[in-house]
Amino acid sequence: MDRSNERNSANVEFVSRQMLDRLSTEAKQSPRLRKNYNFHTSDGDRCHRLLNAMEPDSYIQPHRHLSVDKDESLVVLRGKIGLIIFTGDGAVAEKVLLEPAGNVMMANIPHGTFHTLVSLDGPSIFFEAKAGPFIPVTQEEKAPWAPQEGDAAAVAYLRSLKNLF
């Protein structure tokens, strides 16, 4: 994504409706139906700040971040996102609807907490912040009771998650 329209002379970045529109378009065209816009400059940065656009058919396998410095904060800017928190055995512990003008628009998810997000009213976009560097989710961090991304069972599982709302 071209960043020139979102920066001023001091390289301060701004998030505009046009930027969100472009990011949503890119998410629709992505095989995973998601697209990030990173404010951090590299995967090795100590603090990761990004926009994450997600379409309603995008599936994020429930997961957790085991590292004690990987608490995850997110603020919904557009759409409606269902946040689902799970127990270690896959039972739904809590579900919260996040929306920009709703009752809840932000969540801070402590490390070690199994969670996933579902886009309920696409396109949905949230701002995310967590400690770097980027480390892909390990097998131990993925929920063993949930289908993996790309698995045929993920479609029905995603539908069941959305039905919680």
Amino acid making up residue 68: V
Mean pLDDT of 133-157: 96
**Could you read off the pLDDT of 43-89 as tens digits, one per residue?**
999 999 999 999 999 999 999 999 999 999 999 999 999 999 999 99
CATH value at residue 10: 2.60.120.10
pLDDT over 70 for what percent of the chain? 95
Q: What is the CA radius of gyration of the chain?
A: 16
**Total structural domains within the chain:** 1
Residue 1: pLDDT above 90?
Answer: no
Residue 51 gets which letter from DSSP? Answer: E
Cα distance between residue 61 and residue 155, in whole Å? 11
Cα distance between residue 160 and residue 165, in whole Å? 10
**H or E stretch covering 26:** helix 17-29
Measured over the CA atoms of residue 132, residue 134, residue 135 and residue 137, the dihedral's sign is positive
Residues spanned by the domain of 46: 4-136+153-162
